[in-house]
Amino acid sequence: MELCLEYGCASVNKFGEELCGDNVVSVVDGDYTTLVLADGLGSGVKANILSTLTSKILCTMAANGIDIDECVETIVQTLPICHVRGVAYSTFSLIHVNNEGKGFLYEFDNPQAICYHDGKCIDLEREKLTICDKPVYKSELNLKENDVVMVMSDGTIHAGIGQILNFGWERRQIMEHLDRNIKPNMSARAVACLLTSACNDLYLDKPGDDTTVAAVKLRRRVNVNIMVGPPVDKEKDNFYVERFMEGADKTIVCGGTSSQIVARYLNKPLRTSFDFPDKDVPPIGFIEGIDLATEGVLTLRRLLELSEKYISINDLTPKTFARQDGASLLANMLFEEATHVKFFVGQSVNVAHQGLPIDITMKMKLVEKLASNIREMGKNVILNYD
């Protein structure tokens, strides 16, 4: 069983501010993932600059194996001093962990991280260090499958102050909320969005502080292969399908002609559903041995729209898709379940599209933009053309 890391974040700006004073940066280098969440002093432009400097410098240095003492010292010496308060201030949480779940977490003045383990939120053991006269807390990480580590800015624990709650959202209450609502199959991005959305609700959609949650999850690798369109050379149909089926944990076929080719290769009937869960998305099909069969271009267009919302750090709609239309089912498999996605894109001209504003170039651009968005979700994506 091969494990891998995924990460995701969600954020809301302080009400009335165009820029967020929090910033999240992540780097994947070989087996290691490094993620930094920084919270700049105050809000707006100045806080944004402070958090951006902090996160970029820390993440780059830590990803290159530089000692944390040097990283923090560099931050202290680099940040500009606030003339009003006389301090150069940006808090941070830094996660550096490999695909086996081993690594460390360093925290400076952010709310204490929360670890979701075996269906329950727990505290990580912390060691207090003093670096450049500043208290920094270190936690050793030894994650197991489906463990999630969440780091956050202080907008989370301030949520609801003076509105719904007198003293904000206590850490214990946050953990209880997560215990009730996290599902084991949720992605890191879905978990981050779940907590950020709850904070935004407590702020009554008018956050009194920038609020950001970033999560890292250790999970099983899931290879999803997706076939979009038939190959140019019909003689290669079987060869094309063999490659498509190879090494896949889950298989998806998009397009009527593609579905017919796969059904013929598997010697199984192709059945079409008569249900329309969404009137704008054509119904799905069924082929024994294939996890999902959908219509082509129209479904992919809707999928692209869903991907744009999914990757938006400020979009707080749930990241799990409950609807049963083809685009939502595709989104759940590609965005939530998959860790590695391989596209098999056939470049044959579809006779059914003649006379319609659909051509092969448009389909290629659609697939390439979709692949780009899935990469932005932190997934490994490969494009094959035939």
Which residues of the chain form beta strands (DSSP E)?
Answer: 3-12, 22-29, 32-40, 90-98, 102-108, 114-117, 120-122, 127-131, 134-142, 148-152, 211-220, 223-228, 250-254, 270-272, 285-287, 292-294, 340-345, 380-385
Q: How confident is the model at residue 351 (pLDDT cuts 50, 70, 90)?
A: low
Report helix, strand or coil for 45. helix
Residue 221 has pLDDT above 90, yes or no: yes
Shared-domain flag, residues 310 and 324: yes
| Mean pLDDT to the nearest integer, 89-94 | 90
Give yes or no for a contact between 92 and 79, defined as CB atoms under 8 angstroms apart.
Answer: no
**Per-residue pLDDT reduced to its tens digit, 46-71:** 899 989 999 999 999 998 989 888 98
Give the separation between CA 16 and CA 54, rounded to whole angstroms: 24
Distance (Å, rounded) from C-alpha 375 to C-alpha 324?
Answer: 24
Chain mean pLDDT for the chain? 90
Give the residue numbers spanning the domain of 129: 3-219
So what's the pLDDT on residue 166? 60
Same domain (yes/no): 120, 228: no
97 and 231 inside one domain: no
CATH number at residue 66: 3.60.40.10
Residue predicted with more confidence, 301 or 364: 301
Is residue 191 located within the same domain as residue 69? yes
pLDDT tens digits for range 171-202: 999 999 999 999 989 999 999 999 999 999 99
pLDDT score for 145: 95
pLDDT of 359 higher than 70: no
Task: Tell me which amino acid residue 335 is.
Answer: F
- CATH number for the domain including 304? 3.40.50
284 shares a domain with 175? no
Whether 11 shows a pLDDT value over 80: the answer reads yes
Domain boundary among 161, 185, 219: 219
Last residue of one domain, picked from the residues 165, 196, 219: 219
Domain limit, last residue, from 186, 219, 252: 219
Report how far residue 139's alpha carbon sits from residue 145's, in angstroms, rounded to the nearest whole number: 18
Residue 44 near residue 236 (C-beta atoms within 8 A): no
350 has a pLDDT exceeding 80: no
Provide mean pLDDT across the span 135-145: 95
- For the chain, the helix, strand and coil percentages under 3-state DSSP, each to the nearest 5: 35, 30, 40
- Percent over 90 (pLDDT), the chain: 73
Asked if 154 and 207 sit in the same domain, the reply is yes
Kindly report whether the global pTM for this prediction surpasses the value 0.85.
yes
Q: At 198, phi and psi to the nearest 5?
A: -65, -40
Tell me what pLDDT residue 368 has: 95
The answer to whether the CB of 15 falls within 8 A of the CB of 206 is yes
Distance CA 265, CA 220 (A): 30
Considering only 10-19, 85-94, 256-265, 316-325, which range has the smallest mean pLDDT? 85-94
User: Are residue 227 and residue 180 in the same domain, yes or no?
Assistant: no
Average pLDDT estimate for 148-177: 86
- Whether 73 and 180 map to the same domain: the answer is yes
Tokens of residue 19, six digits? 């820029």
Using alpha carbons, select from 374, 371, 304 the residue that is nearest to residue 335.
Answer: 374
Question: Domain check: are 165 and 295 in the same one?
Answer: no
List the single range of 102-111, 204-213, 341-350 with lowest mean pLDDT: 341-350
36 vs 164, more confident? 36
pLDDT in tens, 314-346: 999 999 998 999 999 999 999 999 999 999 998
Residue scoring higher pLDDT (77 or 71): 71
Statement to judge: residues 203 and 275 lie in one domain: no
Say yes or no: 131 and 101 in one domain: yes
pLDDT of res. 66 = 92
Give how many domains the chain has, as a whole number. 2
Checking if the pLDDT of 279 tops 60, the result is: yes
Q: Are residues 235 and 362 both part of a single domain?
A: yes
